[in-house]
Amino acid sequence: MGESLYSARGKDLLTEYFGAMHPSPSPARLIVLAVSVTFAAASAFAQGAPRLPDMSSYDCAVISAATAASSRHIGQVIKGTYNEWHELYVAGTAGEKLGCIALMRPSPRQLTAGEARNFLLDSFAVGAPTASDAERNQATPDVVEPDNVQPEPLKRLRKIAPGTERPREAAPDLPPVPATRSFDGSQTSVPAKERPRRLAAPAERSEAPDTLGAEDREQIADTQSYPWNIVAYVSVTYPSGSNFRCSGVLVSPYVVLTAGHCIHNNDRGGYVTSVRIYPGQTQVAPKDNNPVRPYGVKSDVQYLQTTAQWVQMSGEESYFISDYRHDLAAIEFRTPFTHTSTFMPVLYGSSSSPVTSVGYPGTINGDNNNYGQYADLGNETQDSFDDYRTDHVREFAVDASGGNSGGPFIYASSNNQRYLVGVLSYGGDLDDYAGGPWYDSWNQSLLSGWVSWTPGSTATGSVSGLRVASVFGSTQPSVASFLRFYNSGTSSGTVDVTLADAASGNVLATWTSPTLPARSSRQYSLTDIENGASGTFTKPMVYSISVRSTFPGTFQNAIFRKADATLSNISTCSGQATDGTTLINVHSSLLTYGYPSAIVVHNTSASAMQVPLSIYSGQSGSLRGTYTTASIPANSQLVLGISTIESGGNFTPAGDYHYNIRAGGGFTGYMQHLVNNLVAGVTTDMSTSCALVQQ
């Protein structure tokens, strides 16, 4: 994003570290760097309250993203409401000046200079109320911390043979898909049993590194002051019965961000079964096994969130760098944290250094009984600068050890504001390197949904629900998408669609459908959805979308190829439908002369059967008629043209272009919908659909 507001000391360190451009810095050099930043750490969070940037050139009328010298994309819960905005900067003689704030959420608009000033003061939490002593006690009744909680071991980088280029994923660089575990008993979105094991041969796995540096992490003495009071000790229990501890950070009254491997491990049974959060935990005396927990414990979890990609691969001890971009997680609570009203903003796509790593390492100076909060400051490593950023991962010259996993990377800007820029996912003990997912435009849609979540929201917030890629907009020159929604319920309802830029992941707008009657299905072009969506936005050629409905049913993404007038079905989503007894948007005889439909009824049972079919109007959902097939032998199929079904059922389309067909009578096979594209002379399978996610 071009954002580069370093502290003066940070600039010097970057010049020192990257100026020589050593491909492999020597251990001695790393130690010097670690010692150097220790002194910076003492001042990095002792700069006083955040202050307003230079606003002498503030004028939204003359600045845009195209003309700005740099920009910041930020999301933050302010006074209980999630806000997301762009800060655009212009060049000045003494540094950059704030040129405009463009608010994206909760409602898109540009702020006047006066509004921007007040907005930033609220963002900085100037004058934020202090919790009373009664509010500070977060303790959840009857929660007991187990005695045998072990620090979550650090994940490692998988070794690459010398002279071999590290593997990269061949799949498209699509944004992460959320995976959810509800404490109300819902299933995970990607069952652990489907995970392909990818254990490397022993020679390829990372080994415990040799110690290169000296311990330079510093304990935070006052964990009841911001920002230390929002950093949390995270204790979990797995289905296997094992107990582990990580770190995390509060980003709202209801949400803690951490690493995916802190809440899901296939080798320990999948998702954790219980979570205990201790904000601002400290340890007064070294080697004291009794930590001080000023705000008690909180454990009333409603949802656990990670990514579907991490659910598939979790459980190993080392990964390639590109895997770590998926190691993201959020823990969502039924009731709020009340000990603070100040939460740190998330800065997407920051390229700045140094950053501070904060968390709860289990080992400090050889003491394996540490329960205090420690911080370390360091710049981005050269490997990260040169290579890892393309994988949405950043790595910093900071110390880490077991228990640090899930702790935040925090950047302090030149005007003293602190931002969350990433999460610690892997590292080496005293090796002056630790890294993890970088908060950027690639995962912004997912993270903003997590940060904005409240108990009244769906599990993944603004981008929750069915996730769909490869949706083509009106500016795409060759193909056009048509979205189809089927209401299989017994009452009418609506659908919400969130549009995001497929390239950046940035949420652009939302659209709400007209009311769909029960048993009906509707088809909408992306042009109609774009024109009816909230707010104005630049239309990309390709979207990724999320779909939430108030009714059960299915979804399809049908595309029309303009060159040869072919219709195709590319309905691959985060949740595929499995009901083979219902077909949606089957073409009536009104479309016989261009795109005639036929259905295939496949009897998979051990005996012959007749299958009763109910045909519903796609427009109104009303029953048009019924048709019973001839006897279909076991393990055989029957192909029926739509005209045959209409005449045999004694009904006409009556203006309907689409039908929804349901098989009854205990049918145990499945049906297939085929469309003959007469112009192109090809047959297309239109059967595949995705399962809608109800709000």
Least-confidence region, from 23-32, 391-400, 636-645: 23-32
- Confidence at residue 3, expressed as pLDDT on a 0 to 100 scale: 32
pLDDT band for 139, please (50, 70, 90 cuts).
low
What are the tokens at 531?
Answer: 């024109």
Contact call for residues 506 and 444 (beta carbons, < 8 A)? yes
Least-confidence region, from 17-21, 48-52, 554-558: 17-21
Is the pLDDT at 107 greater than 90? The verdict is no
- How far lies 78's CA from each of 5, 419, 593, in Å? 23, 14, 58
What are the tokens at 63?
Answer: 């600045």
pLDDT band for 626, please (50, 70, 90 cuts).
very high
Kindly report, as residue ranges, where domains of CATH 2.60.290.11 are found in the chain.
465-691
Nearest to 262 by CA among 291, 242, 283: 242
Pairwise CA distance, residues 9 & 412, whole Å: 12
Contact call for residues 277 and 297 (beta carbons, < 8 A)? yes
Say which CATH topology domain 8-47+138-157+173-192+219-444 has: Thrombin, subunit H (2.40.10)
Is the pLDDT at 361 greater than 70? The verdict is yes
What is the gyration radius of the CA atoms in the chain, in angstroms?
28
Nearest to 574 by CA among 313, 169, 188, 260: 188
- Which residues does residue 75 pair with via DSSP β-bridges, in sequence order? 84, 346
3-state secondary structure of 645: helix
**Other beta carbons less than 10 A from residue 515's beta carbon:** 13
Least-confidence region, from 352-356, 421-425, 662-666: 662-666
Is the pLDDT at 560 greater than 60? The verdict is yes
For tokens 């003494």, what's the residue? 94
Environment class of 187 (CB within 10 Å of its CB; exposed 0-12, middle 13-18, buried 19+): exposed
What is the chain's length?
695
Domain spanning 465-691: CATH superfamily: TM1070-like (2.60.290.11)
Q: What is the mean pLDDT of residues 49-70?
A: 88
Phi then psi for 177, rounded to 5 degrees?
Answer: -100, 130
Highest mean pLDDT of the ranges 352-356, 450-454, 505-509: 352-356
One-letter-per-residue 3-state SS of 329-385: EEEEECCCCCCCCCCCCEEECCCCCCEEEEECCCCECCECCCCCCEEEEECECHHHH
Kindly report, as residue ranges, where domains of CATH 2.40.10.120 are found in the chain.
8-47+138-157+173-192+219-444
For tokens 């009664």, what's the residue? 134
Q: What does the DSSP assignment read for 38-102? A: HHHHHHHT-S-S--PPP-TT--TTS--TTT-SEEEEEEEEETTEEEEEEEEEE--TTS-EEEEEE
Is the pLDDT at 161 greater than 80? The verdict is no
Least-confidence region, from 14-28, 134-148, 506-520: 14-28
- How far lies 5's CA from each of 66, 96, 456, in Å? 19, 9, 37
**Other beta carbons less than 10 A from residue 201's beta carbon:** 6
Q: Give the amino acid at 201.
A: A
Contact call for residues 138 and 129 (beta carbons, < 8 A)? no
Q: For residue 691, give the H/E element and its range.
A: strand 690-691
Q: What is the mean pLDDT of the chain?
A: 83
Is the pLDDT at 272 greater than 90? The verdict is yes
Contact call for residues 294 and 373 (beta carbons, < 8 A)? no
Q: Cis before residue 202, ω within 30 degrees of 0? A: no
Q: What is the mean pLDDT of residues 494-502?
A: 87
Contact call for residues 603 and 669 (beta carbons, < 8 A)? yes
Phi then psi for 416, rounded to 5 degrees?
Answer: 75, 5
Q: What is the mean pLDDT of residues 280-299?
A: 85
- How far lies 57's CA from each of 62, 95, 104, 113, 312, in Å? 10, 12, 22, 10, 50
Phi then psi for 35, rounded to 5 degrees?
Answer: -65, -40
3-state secondary structure of 616: strand
Least-confidence region, from 10-19, 67-76, 80-89: 10-19
- Confidence at residue 266, expressed as pLDDT on a 0 to 100 scale: 93
